[in-house]
């Protein structure tokens, strides 16, 4: 093989390697990759993760969503300035109406990013640089662990139907 052909071959190999690495990085942050075949990311049956999640909840979420996940009073009506109060995360709220993937993305990236609207008016913080992915999974696993079995089951079904749609 001539020298210039070897050079081209090396460049092609380097480009391919870079693509593989980029693809890998992209996949580690992709939540689709986090979900199992049933579309589930959270582990509400894992006592260790749930205990960790409860601690994270108390420190990072309870101030707004309530110590008992009850949300702010009159949470359906916007406050002055158009901001919505923090909704409950128990069965009376609509957290369980959303798949694991969506809940993870809301918590990690925030409403502005996931709705592609940087002017989205909300008091919900972005946790991307505050909590690790594992912490976010733990806190949401804790939230799910508090739901009655029937709600957990319906949420599992929602996850599974979301997984099929992807
Ligand atoms: C400073 C107050 C505040 C804190 C702290 C906070 N949130 Fe929120 N959160 C909100 C508000 C307000 C909303 C309603 C969003 C809106 O404006 O539409 C919300 C909405 C949400 C939703 C969407 C619920 C739904 O039914 O659509 C999730 C999920 C959520 N928060 C998770 C968390 C988690 C997990 C934490 C802690 C790691 C947390 N939040 C901490 C204020 C807060």
For 74-93, how does the pLDDT look when each residue is reduced to its tens digit (9 = 90+)? 999 999 888 999 999 999 99
Inter-residue contact 41 to 33 (CB < 8 Å): no
Its pTM stands at 0.84
For residue 42, count other CB atoms closer than 10 A to its CB. 26
* Span from the CA of 42 to the centroid of ligand 1 (angstroms): 17
Question: Taking CA 97 as the corner, what is the angle to CA 85 and CA 25, rounded to the nearest 5 degrees?
Answer: 95
Q: How far apart are CA 86 and CA 102, in angstroms?
A: 17
10-residue block means of pLDDT along the chain (166 residues)? Answer: 83 84 55 81 97 98 98 94 95 95 96 92 96 98 98 96 68
Residue 88 CA, ligand 1 centroid: distance in Å: 9
Binding-site residues, ligand 1, Cβ < 6 A: 60-61, 63-65, 84-87, 93-95, 103, 106-107, 111, 122-125, 127, 139
Domains in the chain: boundaries = 1-34, 36-165
User: What confidence score (pLDDT) does residue 1 get?
Assistant: 67
**CATH code of the domain made up of 36-165:** 1.10.760.10
Dist. CA 131–CA 27, nearest whole Å = 19
């Amino acid at each position: 093989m001539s020298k210039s052909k070897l050079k081209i071959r090396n460049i092609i190999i380097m480009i391919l390697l870079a693509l593989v690495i980029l693809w890998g990085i992209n996949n580690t942050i992709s939540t689709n990759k986090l979900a199992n075949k049933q579309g589930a990311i959270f582990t509400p049956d894992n006592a260790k993760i749930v205990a960790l999640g409860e601690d994270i909840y108390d420190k990072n979420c309870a101030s707004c969503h309530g110590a008992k996940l009850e949300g702010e009073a009159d949470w359906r009506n916007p406050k002055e300035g158009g901001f919505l109060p923090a909704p409950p995360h128990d069965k009376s709220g609509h957290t369980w109406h959303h798949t694991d993937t969506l809940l993870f993305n809301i918590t990690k990236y925030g409403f502005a990013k996931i709705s592609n609207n940087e002017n989205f008016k909300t008091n919900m913080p972005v946790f991307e640089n505050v909590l690790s992915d594992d912490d976010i999974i733990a806190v949401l696993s804790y939230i799910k662990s508090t739901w009655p079995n029937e709600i957990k089951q319906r949420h599992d079904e929602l996850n599974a139907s979301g997984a099929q749609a992807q």
